[in-house]
Structure 1
Amino acid sequence: MRMTTSDRAWRPGNRVELLENGEAFFPRVFEAIAQARREVLLETFILFEDKVGNELRQRIIDASRRGVRVEMTVDGYGSYNLSEEFLSGLTAAGVALRIFDPRRTLFGLRLNVFRRLHRKLLVVDGERAFVGGINYGCDHLEDAGPLSKQDYALEVEGPVVADIRDFLAAAMHAHDNGHSWSHPGITLPVTTPGDAQALFLVRDNGRNSTAIEREYRAAIRAARREIVIANAYFFPGYGFMRELRNAAQRGVRVSLIVQGEPDMPFAQLAARMLYPDLVAAGVAIYEYCRRPFHGKVALVDDDWTTIGSSNLDPLSLSLNLEANVFVRDPALNRQLRSRLDALRQQDCRRIEARTLPRRSFWRTLVAPVFYHAQRRFPTWAGLLPAHTPKVVLVATDEKQDP
């Protein structure tokens, strides 16, 4: 399934809406599923069995029982702890439920950490899509406390939804091994509800392994005034780093927002290794300190924006299955800029050159080795046969075509 900027065109005529955190995202998703008439396709990394996950489950069950075709895929690592009762309630209602790479834990440890299904996609009736970084769990709600996550998603209507729906439908059936669950096409509406141009890209471990990164880097090279990248896990490769430094050195205002209160401290340690070179080149770095930052968003100049599931680290850029929407729309760009400006002003600390550790012989010697090992380790580990993922279709009561 090849999908690049050369053969997957930007689609004009879309309506896009930024959704910040679970408070904005979950009500829109639940409303869309409640209004579904024909089809719901859902794919997520994490589905927790909490008040958010239980409400999603009930909305899915209700939709299926009223005749809507419902198919969903959850990741076996991110959604490993779902009870039999939780799953059987879905399949009994006729939901086609798949688990990406389910594996048993060993002494309580999850070993299927590499090549995760990290996408967060929802398409309803081929008319409305949701793409972003928000999983289905209470930890995306601020009332969950200091460990609740700051994150973003995008609601989309318009021609690009057909691209998302076609991809998702094909991905769900790529591993069915002849199972009889049919997936008939639906007549997709040809409407242009807005003025935004949009491009849907995925990253896989085949021919689309660099599609998202290439689009990022092309936008960075074309930047004239400003680049803002807000990414939870920032540890890109040499080429990406070079593009950022070059942009800053040619006079583009380059800002980076990363975690200051990380949910994974090792990821913060890795990102901080990059600070000296970036700050020396003129990149402004901010650490978000109010709560864990989970966003994967960026903007360039006055009209380019991306929102999706892809971090800028070795897992997302080398192993995980990811999906981003890229948008050319000044209104969305202004809205995201305003939200990120508020974060920088209210909840971030800026990294100053004087606070960075001084260069030493030891750091100069060890840092490149550590960087290279960090960048390459996920790829090396992902080559192991044990990390080749499989998709399991959970036993289901088949539904006849409506």
Structure 2
Amino acid sequence: MKTRWVGGNRVTLLINGESFFPRVFECIAAAEREILLETFILFEDKVGLALQAALLTAARRGVQIDVTVDGYGSPDLSPAFISALTQAGVRVHVFDPSPRLWGYRTNVFRRMHRKIVVIDGTRAFVGGINFAADHLADFGPTAKQDYAVEIEGLLVPQIQHYARSQLLVGRQAPPRLRDRLFRREPQAPVNTTLPAAGQVETLFVTRDNREHTSDIERHYRIAIRGARQRIIIANAYFFPGYRLLRQLRRAARRGVDVRLILQGEPDMPIVKIAARLLYHHLLVAGVKIYEYHERPLHGKVALTDDEWSTVGSSNLDPLSLSLNLEANVIIKDRAFNQHLGEHLAQLMQTSCKQILISDVAEAGLWVSLRSFFVFHLLRRYPAWFGWLPAHTPQLTPAEKLLNLPGSDRVNEGQVS
């Protein structure tokens, strides 16, 4: 599905679970016809149980509900949790479920990493926040810092159409080479009856392993290349490709104020180790780097100059840029850009440590050799990862996996 810039929207920044969960649950409670929900992680904790309760109430009053979770990210939902939903009429789908091998999850690659909620085709949420209690501050020092947006207006039907189309994953044959070469990709539909909710221009961008393998990264590079005043990127897992790094260095060298907010207290130590391999290369070009130390950074947001911003699920690392299924919203709006910029500036001032060139001063043969291998890896990893098994992903009804009542139900024809 080819997307387009769409005006007539209102976009609200939601920071952490304290802002995100109440709004989502409030909108679920008001739903009249349809709820589409995709999440990488759904845990059976206080947030997951609150979501389950909200969905059950909506289902019992006749709302059509489809919930999709990733088989790797949400492996431990109990039969009782899923059964309560399915018996109320909620259709629960698991993306690429795989059996464990010696206790380990095997479907490491090609994850469904999107976080999308669409309510009645009039309101949508897109971002990086999973349905888990570790997105709330009271979880403790390992609670995640993260972001999402609430969208009202003319972009929402496009997101709804996309979310509905993803319920057919695994049932459609991949397009033939001839079709991919000569067939024009259909445009996303435009709902001409939905009233405008504001003046904000938006673009819904996804990454998949067919036609849209690099769309999110490409929009990042376009924005960086066009920046004249400032670039701020806050991203949890930062190990991007060579071309994006080159654009950041070029921007800094032409006088753009380029700032990166990266993890200082990572949830996985390898994240910090990988990012630090790039620090010297970026700092010598004038890029400013800030490590966020208050708690693990899980956000995936960015802005350039005074209009362009993006919020979504895509990290800037090999998994998100070359393997995972991702979704971002790009926003052209001065007020949103300013609000996000003020928040990130506050983060840098109060919760980050700026990394100086003296902190990573390096010299010698080992550094030269390491840089050589790292940057050749960055040049080539998208192609290398593309050779990993590109099996056709499957959406499986959750009750079939657990032999729950209703497991003989067929979902064909249920997507309206």
TM-score, normalisation: structure 2 = 0.89
Match of 2:65 in 1: 70
Whole-Å Cα distance in 1 between the matches of residues 157 and 304 of structure 2?
Answer: 26
Cα 1:197–1:377 shift into 2, 3 Å: closer
The residue that corresponds to 2:221 in the other structure is 217
Answering whether residue 37 of structure 2 is matched by residue 42 of structure 1, we say: yes
SS in 1 for 2:170: coil
Partner of 1:111: 106
Closer/same/farther in 2, CA of residues 327 and 22 from structure 1, 3 Å limit: same
- Aligned twin of 1:130: 125
Partner of 2:351: 347
Write the distance in 1 (CA, Å) between the matches of 2:382 and 2:298: 20
1:59 aligned residue: 54
Q: Distance in 2 between matches of 1:388 and 1:371?
A: 31
Q: Name the % identity.
A: 54
Aligned pair in 2 of structure 1 residues 142, 328: CA closer, same or farther (>3 Å)? Answer: same
SS in structure 2 of the partner of residue 191 of structure 1: coil
Does structure 1 conserve the Cα–Cα contact (< 8 Å) formed by 2:157 and 2:190? no
Distance in 1 of aligned mates of 2:347 and 2:11? 22
SS in 1 for 2:270: helix
Q: What is the SS of the residue equivalent to 2:160?
A: helix
3-state SS of paired residue (1:149): coil
State the distance in 2 between where 1:304 and 1:401 align.
Answer: 34
Matched letter for residue 208 of structure 1: H
User: 1:120 maps to what in 2?
Assistant: 115
- Checking the alignment, whether the CA contact within 8 Å between 2:313 and 2:327 is kept in structure 1 is yes
Q: Which amino acid in 2 is paired with 1:356?
A: V
Rounded to whole Å, the distance in 1 between the matches of 2:31 and 2:23 is: 12
Task: Report how far residue 374 of structure 1 moved.
Answer: 6.9
Cα distance per residue 1:209-262 (max 9 Å; x no partner): 011111111111111111000000111111101111111111111000000000
Amino acid of the residue matched to residue 390 of structure 1? Answer: Q
Query: Are the aligned partners of 1:127 and 1:157 in contact in 2 as well (CA < 8 Å)?
Result: yes
Per-residue CA shift, 1:264-296, capped at 9, x if unaligned? 111111111111111111111000001000000
Is 1:203 the counterpart of 2:207? The answer is yes
Contact kept? 1:314, 1:375, Cα under 8 Å: no
Q: Look up the SS of the partner of 1:85 in the other structure.
A: helix
Contact in 1 for aligned 2:242/2:375 (Cα 8 Å): no
Is structure 2 residue 140 aligned with structure 1 residue 145?
yes
Is contact 1:112–1:387 with CA below 8 Å preserved after alignment? no
Confirm or deny that 1:256 pairs with 2:260.
Answer: yes
CA contact (8 A) 1:52 1:137 kept: yes
Q: Which residue of 2 aligns with 1:167?
A: 162
1:333 is aligned to 337
Whether contact under 8 Å (1:203, 1:320) holds in the other structure is yes
CA distance in 2, matches of 1:96, 1:371: 45
Unmatched runs of 5 consecutive residues or more in structure 2: 174-188, 400-405
Say if 2:252 and 2:286, in contact at 8 Å, map to a contact too: yes
SS at match of 1:110: coil
Match status 1:292 vs 2:263? no
Q: Take 2:352 and 2:77, find their aligned partners in 1: how far apart are those partners? A: 35
How far apart in 2 are the matches of 1:199 and 1:52?
A: 29
**Helix, strand or coil for the counterpart of 1:117?**
coil
- CA separation in 2, counterparts of 1:281 and 1:115? 34
- CA distance in 2 between counterparts of 1:368 and 1:387 reads 33
Match of 1:79 among 36, 53, 74: 74
Deviation at 1:89, TM superposition (A): 1.0
1:24 to 19, 35, 39: 19
Would the alpha carbon gap of residues 135 and 117 (structure 1) be closer, same or farther in structure 2, given more than 3 Å must change? same
Is 1:88 the counterpart of 2:83? The answer is: yes
Question: In structure 2, do the counterparts of structure 1 residues 375 and 389 end up closer, same or farther at CA, with 3 Å as the change threshold?
Answer: farther
The aligned residue for residue 92 of structure 2 is 97
Gapped runs of 5+ residues in structure 1?
179-184
Structure 1 Cα separation of the partners of residues 13 and 287 of structure 2: 26
How many residue pairs were aligned? 391
SS of equivalent residue, structure 2 residue 232: strand
**How many Å separate the matches in 2 of 1:119 and 1:378?**
20
Give the letter for the 1:166 counterpart: H
User: 2-side partners of 1:34 and 1:148: how far apart?
Assistant: 26
Calculate the TM-score normalised by the size of structure 1. 0.92
The answer to whether the Cα contact below 8 Å between 1:127 and 1:189 also exists between their aligned partners in 2 is no
Q: Given that residues 263 and 297 in structure 2 are in contact (C-alpha distance below 8 angstroms), is that contact kept between their aligned partners in structure 1?
A: yes
Contact 1:162 1:188 (8 Å CA) reproduced? no
SS in 2 for 1:281: coil
User: Match of 1:181?
Assistant: none
Secondary structure of the structure 2 residue equivalent to 1:77: coil
After the TM superposition, which of the residue ranges 326-335 and 188-197 deviates more from structure 2?
188-197
In 1, the alpha carbon distance for the partners of 2:289 and 2:47 equals: 33
How much has 1:189 moved relative to structure 2?
4.6
